[in-house]
Amino acid sequence: MNGSLQILFNTLMMRHFSTRTRIFLALSLLLAVSDALFVLINYRAEQARFHTHIEQRAENLRNLFAMEVANTSLRMQQIATFIAAMPEVQQAFSLGRQTVEAEGGGLGGEKSRQARAHLLALVNDPWQKMRQLYDTRQLHFQIGEQATSFLRVHATEKFGDSLDDVRHTIMDAIREQKHTGGFECGRIICGIRGVSPVNNLPDTAANPSFIGVLEAGTSFHNTLDLIEKSGGASIAVLLAKSHLEETYFPDRLAMIPPDDFLSDGHFIEATLHPEIRSYLADERIAQLVRDKKSDWFQMNGKALAFTAFELRDYLGLIQAERPAVGTVVAWLPVDAEVSDLYHDLKVNIGYAIIAYLLIEGLLFLALQKAVEGLEGVIARQTRSLKDLAAHDALTGLYNRHYLDEFVARVYASSDRQRAPCSLAIMDIDYFKQVNDTYGHLRGDQVLQACAALVKARLRASDIAFRYGGEEFLLVFPATEIDKAQQICETLRTQLIGKSLGGLVIGKLTASFGVACRSATNETLERTLARADRALYEAKRLGRNRVEITMDNCAEAASDT
Selecting among 228, 470, 480, 547, the annotated active-site residue is: 470
d(CA 207, CA 201): 8
d(CA 386, CA 380): 10
DSSP 121-163: HHHHHHHHHHHHHH-EEEEEEEETTTTEEEEETTSTT--S-B-
Phi and psi at 399, nearest 5°, equal -95, 175
Sign of torsion over alpha carbons 87, 90, 95, 96: positive
Residue 78 contacts by C-beta under 8 Å, 6 or more apart in sequence? 194
d(CA 305, CA 303): 7
- In the three-class reduction of DSSP (H, G, I as helix; E, B as strand; rest coil), residue 195 is classed as strand
Residue 198 contacts by C-beta under 8 Å, 6 or more apart in sequence? 84, 89, 90, 93, 141, 210, 211, 212, 213, 214
Residue 418 contacts by C-beta under 8 Å, 6 or more apart in sequence? 557, 558, 560
CB 446 within 8 A of CB 471: no
Q: Annotated catalytic, 537?
A: no
* Residues in a beta bridge with 424: 474, 514
d(CA 114, CA 112): 5
Q: Number of H helices and number of E strands within the chain? A: 19, 15
CB 297 within 8 A of CB 237: no
Residue 280 contacts by C-beta under 8 Å, 6 or more apart in sequence? 262, 266, 286, 289, 329
d(CA 129, CA 121): 14
DSSP 41-79: HHHHHHHHHHHHHHHHHHHHHHHHHHHHHHHHHHHHHHH
Report the Cα 11 to chain-centroid distance in Å: 57
d(CA 426, CA 448): 14
d(CA 223, CA 228): 9
d(CA 511, CA 530): 15
Active site residues: 470
